[in-house]
Amino acid sequence: MRDELTRLGVRELRTSDEVDEVLGAGGDTLVVVNSVCGCAARNARPAVAIAMRHEVQPDRVVTVFAGQDVEATARARQYLTGVRPSSPSIALLSGGELQFMLERHQIEGREAHQIADDVTQAYDEFCATN
C-alpha cells in the first residue's frame, strides 16, 4: 500500500519534523493521506498515479499514512485547515495554505479517472503560474 505511491516518486513523510520541513518549504505540494481502506486502493492511489502524468505538476507530491504514521498524519492534518480529518484524502497546498481538498466522501464510489480529473484541474488552477 505504501509502495503504490512511493514507486511513483511520491515522498513518504513519517515524522512531524519531515511534514513541517516539506509543507513549510513553500511552493505547491500535493498531500495524499493514504490508508488501508478499499477506496484508497481502488480510487485514491490510482487517481494519484494518473494525475502524476499530467503536464502541470506541483513542486512536490508527498504522502502520510493514516493509522500507521500517526504523528506525521496528525501534523499534516494541521495544515489542512477548515476540514475534518479524512482518510484517504488528497490536498493541494500552495505556500503552506490549503487550496484544494478531496475528502473521503468525494473519493468513495468514484472512478480513479474522475478523481484524477479533479486533481489535475486543481494543478491547472493553482500550479500553472509557477
Catalytically annotated residues: 37, 39
Find where cell 490536498 sits: 91
Residues in the chain, total: 130
Q: Do 10 and 66 meet the contact criterion of CB atoms below 8 Å apart?
A: no
- The three grid cell numbers given for residue 85, joined into one nine-digit string: 480529518
Cα–Cα distance measured from residue 2 to residue 7, given in angstroms and rounded to the nearest whole number:
9
Dihedral sign computed on CA atoms, order 28, 53, 100, 6: negative
CA nearest to 126, candidates 92, 96, 102:
92
Cα–Cα distance measured from residue 95 to residue 27, given in angstroms and rounded to the nearest whole number:
5
